[in-house]
Structure 1
Amino acid sequence: MDPHLLRTYVTVARLRSFSAAARELGYTQSAVSQHIAALEQDLGLPLLGRRPVAPTPAGERLLEHAGSLLLRIDAARADLAGYAAAPREELTVAAAPLAAHPAVLDALPSTGVTLRVLPRDEVPGAVATGGADLGLVDGIAAPSDPLALPDVAPLTAAAMPGAAAEPLVVVVPDDHPLARRAGVRLTDLADARWLDAPAVGPPLERLRAAVGTPGGFRPSLRYEGTDVRTLVALAAAGHGLVLLPAGAARTADVAADVAAVPVVAPRLVHRTELLRPGGVSAGPVARVLDALGVASQGP
């Protein structure tokens, strides 16, 4: 399967237009049509309906594979490019909103650094494809388990000191019946109304999987931003409960209008991990890793 044809197909399917895809890709519309026809011939299946332009059932299935396939190709290209290029003195760090760990921030050079805040699921891809030199991701896990990360490239992950077992709390309005509790079991809150904030808090589908309640944790409001104070303010206003690491809840406290109730069961923690390419690191990346006590040689 030719990746150039696949990339054209993904663009047409996303834009629902051959002409718009041609403009975005810098091709003629005729070339885009030829790419789609060649891919359909290669696979022996129609992938796009033409009026309107929309993926067929087979095309929808191909889209499920296409993102990871193209990402792996871009990751391989970025990985091999590192063997030919001299180490850059600039450093780009991609971090999920709750993953900017103080130990890493303290180890950064005083100049030449760009910190990009991204949704946590985009951080591994940014490191794999060369969009960032290092990545910081976070999530919930059992105390002895690493984070479950997408398999986008040979990346090396290391837990950050002091972050591997940060406790979790449920943020509730100060007048909520749970506000004065010493602890809470998440299974007891499966039928409560929750804030769905996938870019900041744990995505609710992951929370359901971790707690083992497929039908629980119904969202009452979806927040698509990355500001923790806004998320806590929504909880304070009674729009739903939210699960956060204890440190984030403390720093985002909104005029004492919320309470942070510790989670006592199941045994879950908030974990932060540092991601780096799997090869040998040099330049400012190696210096940051040395400052953190992390080996600069991949496995």
Structure 2
Amino acid sequence: MLDTRHIRTFHEVVNAGSYTGAAKSLGYTQPAVTQQIKALEREVGLPLFARAGRRMRLTEAGETLARHAEVILGNLGAAQQQLQALSRLRAGRVRVCAFPSANATLIPEAMARLLAENPGVRVELLEAEPPESLHRLLAGECDIALAFRYPGMNSEVPPELVEIRLMEDLLTVLLPVGHPLARRHAVRLTELAGARWIAGCPRCRANFLHVCAEEGIEPDIVFTTDDNLAIQSLVAVGVGLAVVPSLVLSFLNHRKVTGRALEPHVRREVFAYVLREHLPLPATTLVLNELKAAAAARVGC
């Protein structure tokens, strides 16, 4: 069995290129690093480094271990984080990571009811677009992740996670209030073929390009940002138009911008994700139930 302390020291030596550099990074003395590498070589049964003049190089065994060391340490770190998350959840503390428009809509509505009925629960809110939010969940940095998926996107869920469908979110187009089509209830994408556009996060941008391609349009994207308030201001001053989820209309607060239904209709699905072993915990159940209720209320509006 390899000692993970020795593997961590070996990993630092490889990254630093020397025992001295690894010692500085780890806060060890150089002799201590040397002793740990010698101990690891005894565990492996093969030399890991060889001298090439004044430089050190990895042996074949060293190259093999170097390829696995980062994965081993990464998995160990994720395990430690997930155990800490389990401890947090048992204490009634929940970290929720969601994308911006959910943080501005579903989360406040769910948290208001949760804290009114369960004041002992403590919630920490993080923000990330998918798939980063799912990576943070798997790494143990959060306990519940909210993410969305457009039609045709990869729907494979890691086996460690449980996927809970919350709602569908219809896409809309943001127009300046003085736009010729702003009086219409719905706008066809082909009617905006010559427009300049503001694109959102990478996943939203990819879906927008896909929808445009299906309509035979090559959009002129002049600006890219995932800041929904910035998008509203850019639309208001005529920089471009934007396709956004209907959730954004809930906090559309720019008097010079209006939202109209987009044709053809495009919907994204919104999901909550949780580690399978954390699903039965009371704090997790409470938060998920309130998220479901908040999503159901929006669908019913």
TM-score of the aligned structures, taking structure 2 as reference length: 0.63
| Distance 1:192-1:93 versus aligned 2 partners, 3 A rule | same
| Distance 1:86-1:151 versus aligned 2 partners, 3 A rule | closer
Distance 1:190 1:6 in 2: 57
Distance 1:260 1:67 in 2: 47
The Cα RMSD (Å) is 4.6
Q: Which amino acid aligns with 2:160?
A: P
Match of 1:51 in 2: none
Which among 110, 123, 141 is matched to residue 113 of structure 1? 123
Distance 1:241 1:40 in 2: 56
How far off is 1:85 after superposition?
A: 8.8
Match of 2:218 in 1: 216
1:286 paired to 2:285: yes
How far off is 1:98 after superposition?
A: 1.0
- Higher helix content, 1 or 2: 2
SS at the partner of 1:93? strand
| Distance 1:187-1:215 versus aligned 2 partners, 3 A rule | closer
Q: Residues 12-41 of structure 1, C-alpha deviation per residue, up to 9 Å, x if partnerless?
A: 6xxxx979x96996478x98xx89954987
| Distance 1:209-1:4 versus aligned 2 partners, 3 A rule | farther
Q: Is the 2:161–2:274 contact (alpha carbons within 8 Å) kept by the matching residues of 1?
A: yes
Which among 138, 149, 163 is matched to residue 157 of structure 1? 163
| Distance 1:139-1:98 versus aligned 2 partners, 3 A rule | farther
| Distance 1:84-1:96 versus aligned 2 partners, 3 A rule | closer
How far off is 1:155 after superposition?
A: 1.3
SS at the partner of 1:167? strand
Q: Which amino acid aligns with 1:96?
A: F
SS at the partner of 1:180? coil
Q: Which amino acid aligns with 1:94?
A: C
Structure 1 range deviating more: 202-211 or 122-131: 202-211
Match of 1:261 in 2: 260
How far off is 1:254 after superposition?
A: 0.6
Match of 1:166 in 2: 169
- Report which of the two structures shows the higher radius of gyration computed on alpha carbons: 2
Q: Is the 2:101–2:247 contact (alpha carbons within 8 Å) kept by the matching residues of 1?
A: no
Q: Which amino acid aligns with 2:183?
A: R
Q: Is the 2:97–2:145 contact (alpha carbons within 8 Å) kept by the matching residues of 1?
A: yes
How far off is 1:231 after superposition?
A: 1.6
How far off is 1:193 after superposition?
A: 1.6
SS at the partner of 1:98? helix
Which among 159, 174, 178 is matched to residue 181 of structure 2? 178
Gaps of 5+ in 1: 45-61, 295-299
How far off is 1:94 after superposition?
A: 0.8
Distance 2:158 2:222 in 1: 32
1:90 paired to 2:88: no
Match of 2:144 in 1: 134
